[in-house]
């Protein structure tokens, strides 16, 4: 009977480990019915591998990236969550970065773990969520935390990625920030989201182009809209002006170039001015791009009528 109970406990351990990317805690093992002696025996037999104090990899010591991240969270105890860049990585709004894994836990919890950077703050339930089974700070809390350390371009990229992934859109983010007056980082996000200075883009190239638009003193265009049957990068209805920014990875094949020509010709036929700037122009010749934009939106001088020839 005892052997049967132990088998049930082990099957539950394996199921839990599968849900937690291959890791379990000592407290969880005890709760599932394993004794302290049984846990220590399995550590000695290398069936459990210590990752952090009180956290074990089950079966083999190698962990996936998600396993490494959840192990760091579990080592910090109940209520802990990945935060800052580590949360951004799991949410998909920041690329993976080297260095310490970042975890936020309650101020009264005093824990230090190797390879983990601990932040102490109160995390209300509304500011916590899960992704891939890993406790993380919610997207609003994560963006506010990131706003304390990222420059404008990096923060704008994170907001754009959150919108692209349907984590949150700028309007809902603005509304959420209204409840966070005084929170460090919230003011920087609100400034970024000001309707006069923020527009959604899909690439760093487009963000650089919008910086040129701002410097030129032009109103911000609509981005990623359908115009004349085509999806365009930038659209100024007032000026009947479409701008496309061609990155290094795209618009290089003859077939793509032919499609671009047909798009531009269709715009011209519809009374729309199409402009196309390359990566090199936007990155290396911003003053020239600014000059061309200003020329495109400036009304053409009215041609002076010739006086009729004298009889």
Say which range, 162-166, 174-178, 307-311, has the weakest mean pLDDT: 307-311
Of the candidates 108, 101, 160, the one whose C-alpha atom is nearest the C-alpha of residue 136 is 101
- Long-range CB pairs of 229-234 (<8 Å, 24+ gap) are 229/266, 230/263, 230/266, 230/267, 233/206, 233/209, 234/206, 234/209
> What pLDDT does 4 receive?
47
Buried b (16+ CB within 10 A) or exposed e, 248-280: eeebeeeeeeeebeebbeebeeeebebbbbbbe
pLDDT beyond 50 at 53: yes
Query: What does the pLDDT read at residue 311?
Result: 28
- The answer to whether the CB of 77 falls within 8 A of the CB of 109 is yes
How many alpha carbons lie under 13 Å from residue 12 in its C-beta half-sphere?
A: 13
For 204-297, the fitting CATH number among 3.30.420.280, 3.40.640.10, 3.40.960.10, 3.30.450.90 is: 3.40.960.10
Which value, to the nearest 10 degrees, does the dihedral of the CA atoms of residues 212, 214, 219, 223 take?
60
Residue 36 has pLDDT above 50, yes or no: yes
Q: Which stretch of 30-34, 184-188, 200-204, 293-297 has the lowest confidence by average pLDDT?
A: 200-204
Provide the 3-class DSSP secondary structure of residue 208.
Answer: helix
pTM confidence score: 0.71
Residue 226 is inside which H or E element, if any? Answer: strand 222-227
Judge whether 24 and 56 are in contact, CB under 8 Å. Answer: yes
Q: Per mean pLDDT, which range of 84-98, 146-160, 167-181 is the poorest?
A: 167-181
**What span, in angstroms and rounded, lies between the C-alpha atoms of 239 and 232?**
15
Strands 101-105 and 81-82: antiparallel
Residue 307 pLDDT grade (very low, low, confident, very high; cuts 50, 70, 90)? very low
When pLDDT is averaged across residues 48-70 and rounded to a whole number, the result is: 95
pLDDT class for 195, splitting at 50, 70, 90?
A: low
Distance of CA 141 to the CA centre of its chain: 13
Q: β-strands 134-137, 128-131: how paired?
A: antiparallel
Mean pLDDT (whole number) for 118-143:
95
Q: What average pLDDT does this structure show over 185-196?
A: 85
At 5, is the pLDDT very low, low, confident or very high (cuts 50, 70, 90)?
A: low
Section 248-264 average pLDDT: 70
Contact 223, 160 (CB under 8 A): no
pLDDT surpasses 50 at 289? yes
For 82, the token pair is 């990945």
CB 247 within 8 A of CB 203: yes
pLDDT digits (tens, 9 = 90+) for 100-123: 999 999 988 888 889 999 999 989
Q: Which of 48-52, 226-230, 251-255 has the lowest mean pLDDT?
A: 251-255
Name which of 16-20, 232-236, 303-307 the model is least confident about: 303-307
Residues 243-250, mean pLDDT to the nearest whole number? 67
Q: Tokens 């000059």 map to which residue?
A: 291
Domain ranges of the chain: 72-192, 204-297
């Amino acid at each position: 009977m005892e052997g049967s109970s132990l088998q049930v406990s082990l099957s539950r351990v394996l199921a839990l480990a599968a849900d937690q990317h291959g890791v379990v805690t000592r407290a969880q093992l005890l709760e599932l019915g394993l004794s302290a002696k049984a846990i220590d025996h399995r550590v000695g037999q290398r069936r459990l591998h210590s990752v952090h104090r009180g956290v074990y990899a089950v079966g083999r010591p190698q962990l996936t990236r998600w396993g490494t991240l959840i192990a760091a969270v579990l080592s910090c105890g109940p209520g802990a969550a990945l935060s800052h860049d580590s949360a951004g990585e799991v949410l998909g709004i920041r690329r993976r970065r080297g260095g310490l894994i970042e975890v936020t836990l309650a101020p009264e919890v005093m824990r230090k773990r190797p390879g983990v950077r601990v932040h102490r703050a109160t995390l209300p339930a509304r500011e916590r969520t899960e992704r891939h089974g890993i406790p993380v700070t919610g997207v609003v809390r994560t963006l506010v935390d990131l706003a304390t350390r990222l420059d404008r371009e990096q923060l704008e990229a994170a907001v754009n990625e959150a919108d692209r992934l349907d984590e949150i859109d700028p309007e809902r983010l603005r509304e959420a920030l209204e409840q966070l007056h005084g929170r460090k980082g919230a003011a920087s996000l609100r400034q970024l989201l000001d309707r006069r200075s923020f527009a959604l883009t899909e690439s760093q190239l487009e963000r650089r182009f919008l910086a040129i638009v701002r410097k030129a003193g032009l109103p911000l265009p609509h981005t990623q809209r359908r115009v004349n049957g085509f999806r365009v990068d930038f659209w100024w209805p007032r000026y009947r002006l479409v701008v496309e920014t061609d990155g290094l990875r795209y618009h290089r094949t003859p077939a793509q170039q032919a499609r671009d020509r047909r798009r531009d010709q269709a715009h011209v036929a519809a009374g729309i001015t199409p402009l196309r700037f390359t990566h090199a122009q936007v990155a290396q010749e911003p003053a020239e791009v600014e000059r061309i934009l200003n020329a495109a939106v400036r009304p053409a001088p009215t041609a002076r009528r010739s006086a009729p020839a004298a009889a």
